[in-house]
């Protein structure tokens, strides 16, 4: 990985000890449980390999019910395991490859980007998700001139298919950002372009990268989903080209 690059990884770690007999079974290795290392040790390995800003973004407890353990351990071993109070977690970790001093200076100039749409429920949300996935250092927000009540469920679904989580996103009113300065303000639908608000703060460049609204698609459930996927892929390609042009 090049200096300044970012990575995101999900893995299973533990706090405590696993029974030796549990580690012998291939099924537990396949589930990443038997081979799990201590959480602190896992993070130290990442840091020792030249990564900085190591951060756990998500933590999920993994429970091993007795009916599963009974396939591998005796009742006495299960009882002993419970007394050990070992915690097993699935964690998602992000980190950055350490930069050289000259690269750190350039990285300090974090780009601020605002993406505008009408409802802030589909296209602008997907564009925000893609830009953040390209580079954790970008400061990206999206908003709408007439925000919907929620992010479109099908937008959440098709982005989840490629590993980008929009489930906790919500539409925002553009007024929240009028007094802020941005390097780029990008409109992604014609309606927002025609009614783009005047920004009081400094705006480096205003761009328009337009896409059809997948929420207007008609047909069967699968046909509508395919339209969402088509627009999703267009947004990914166009915004990756934009990203390459600003780094």
Structure confidence by residue, pLDDT tens digits, 22-40: 655 544 544 455 556 677 7
Angle at 236 between CA 221 and CA 113, to 5 degrees: 120
Catalytic residue among 8, 32, 122, 196: 196
1 domain residue, yes or no: no
Alpha-carbon gap, residue 151 to 171, rounded angstroms: 6
Q: Has 32 been annotated as catalytic? A: no
Torsion of the alpha carbons at 216, 218, 220 and 224, rounded to the nearest 10: -30
Any idea what DSSP says for residue 173? Answer: B
My answer on whether 91 and 49 are in the same domain is: yes
My answer on whether 118 and 84 are in the same domain is: no
Q: Has 8 been annotated as catalytic? A: no
Domain extent for 172: 110-246
Catalytic residue among 8, 32, 122, 189: 189
My answer on whether 221 and 120 are in the same domain is: yes
* Residue range 153-177, pLDDT digits in tens: 999 999 999 999 999 999 999 889 9
Q: Has 196 been annotated as catalytic? A: yes
- List the structure tokens of 50: 């030249």
Confidence (pTM): 0.57
141 domain residue, yes or no: yes
Number of domains within the chain:
2
Q: Going by DSSP bridges, is the β-strand pair 37-38/6-15 parallel, antiparallel, or unpaired? A: parallel
Question: What is the three-class DSSP state of 34?
Answer: coil
Domain boundary among 82, 102, 122: 102
């Amino acid at each position: 990985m090049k200096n300044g690059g970012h990575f995101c990884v999900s893995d299973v770690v533990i706090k405590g000890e696993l029974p030796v007999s549990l580690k012998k079974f291939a099924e537990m290795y396949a589930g990443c449980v038997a081979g799990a290392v201590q959480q602190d040790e896992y993070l130290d390995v990442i840091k020792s390999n030249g990564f900085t800003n190591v951060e756990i973004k998500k933590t999920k407890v993994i429970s091993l019910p007795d009916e599963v353990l009974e396939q591998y351990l005796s009742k006495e071993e299960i009882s002993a395991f419970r007394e050990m109070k070992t915690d097993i977690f699935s964690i998602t970790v992000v980190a950055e490859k350490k930069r050289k001093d000259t690269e750190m200076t350039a990285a300090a100039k974090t780009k601020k980007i605002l993406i505008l749409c009408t409802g802030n429920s589909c296209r602008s949300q997907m564009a925000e998700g893609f830009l953040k996935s390209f580079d954790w250092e970008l400061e990206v927000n999206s908003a709408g001139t007439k925000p919907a009540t929620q992010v479109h469920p099908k937008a959440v679904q098709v982005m989840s298919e490629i590993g980008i989580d929009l489930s906790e996103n919500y539409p925002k009113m553009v007024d929240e950002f009028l007094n802020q300065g941005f390097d780029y303000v990008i409109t992604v639908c014609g309606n927002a372009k025609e009614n783009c608000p005047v920004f009081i703060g400094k705006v480096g460049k205003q761009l328009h990268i337009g896409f059809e609204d997948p929420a207007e698609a008609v047909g069967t459930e699968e046909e509508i989903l395919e339209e969402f996927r088509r627009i999703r892929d267009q947004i990914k390609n166009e915004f990756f080209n934009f990203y390459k042009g600003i780094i």
